[in-house]
Amino acid sequence: MLSQNFLSGLRKFVETKQRQAVDEAARKKQKSFAAVCARSLKAKLMDIPENNQDNMEGEGLSTCHSEASAASLDSYIERHKGPGFPKRLFAMIDEKGVSDSAVYHRAGIDRRLFSKIRSAPEYHPSKATVIALGIALEADLAELEALLSEAGYALSGSETFDLIIRYCVEQRVFDLDEINEALDNFQLKPLGGVA
């Protein structure tokens, strides 16, 4: 059972982070509008029709694109590609010295789903499954974000579900029942038994 103090802290954390996300979105919108206005003013000063403004900034762009080769793109991908979700997950399991069965039991997921993750590299688990596995491994925030990233996900600064997960990980709350209690307190879907 989570304490009222914990839930109060969680509620304040979520409200603050959501307010910050809204403020950041407004700042980005203002910045974007200012850039459009500046380009428009620059075009008027130079007496360039508005539909040619893009050419003004990108004259060398077509030359640059035509010089790019498939080989350089392949090498870029090779240099920057991560290990992928299954490799990252099983490396974390090995590092923490936990058995597979302990992980999928703590995550509240089925053995068959866990087996599918292990044996089918093309399988793409849901964000909730990735989070549940990270929680089961007691991953710190950086580890959880790396695991999510390898699966193509991220923790948002504006989604209440994500903020609750972030708060619980920062507070080192790794009990699935307690996390689900916090999620339920905000009328959100629980972790565990996820696909």
Chunked into runs of 10 residues, the chain (195 residues) has average pLDDT values of: 82 82 70 62 56 49 50 82 90 95 94 93 92 96 96 94 96 95 95 63
CA separation, residue 67 to residues 56, 77, 80 (Å): 20, 18, 21
Per the CB < 8 A criterion, the answer to whether 152 and 124 are in contact is yes
Provide the whole-model pTM.
0.69
Domain assignment of residue 10, yes or no: no
Domain assignment of residue 171, yes or no: yes
Per the CB < 8 A criterion, the answer to whether 142 and 119 are in contact is no
Residue 164, φ and ψ in degrees, nearest 5? -65, -45
- Among 37, 55, 80, the domain boundary falls at 80
Query: Would you mind telling me the total number of residues written for the chain in this entry?
Result: 195
- Among 46, 80, 114, the domain boundary falls at 80
Domain count across the chain = 2
Q: 117 and 66 share a domain? A: no
Strands (E), the chain: none
Q: 120 and 180 share a domain? A: yes
Position 69 scores a pLDDT of 65
Q: 156 and 67 share a domain? A: no
Q: Does residue 101 come out as left (phi exceeding 0), alpha (psi in the -120 to 50 range) or beta?
A: alpha
Q: 89 and 143 share a domain? A: yes
Nearest to 150 by CA among 172, 171, 169, 125: 125
**Mutual angle of helices 127-136 and 160-170, in 10-degree steps:** 10
Provide the domain limits for residue 48.
29-80
Q: 42 and 122 share a domain? A: no
Q: 98 and 65 share a domain? A: no
CATH of residue 125: 1.10.260
Tokens coding 78: 């090779």
Position 72 scores a pLDDT of 85
Domain assignment of residue 194, yes or no: no
Q: 53 and 133 share a domain? A: no
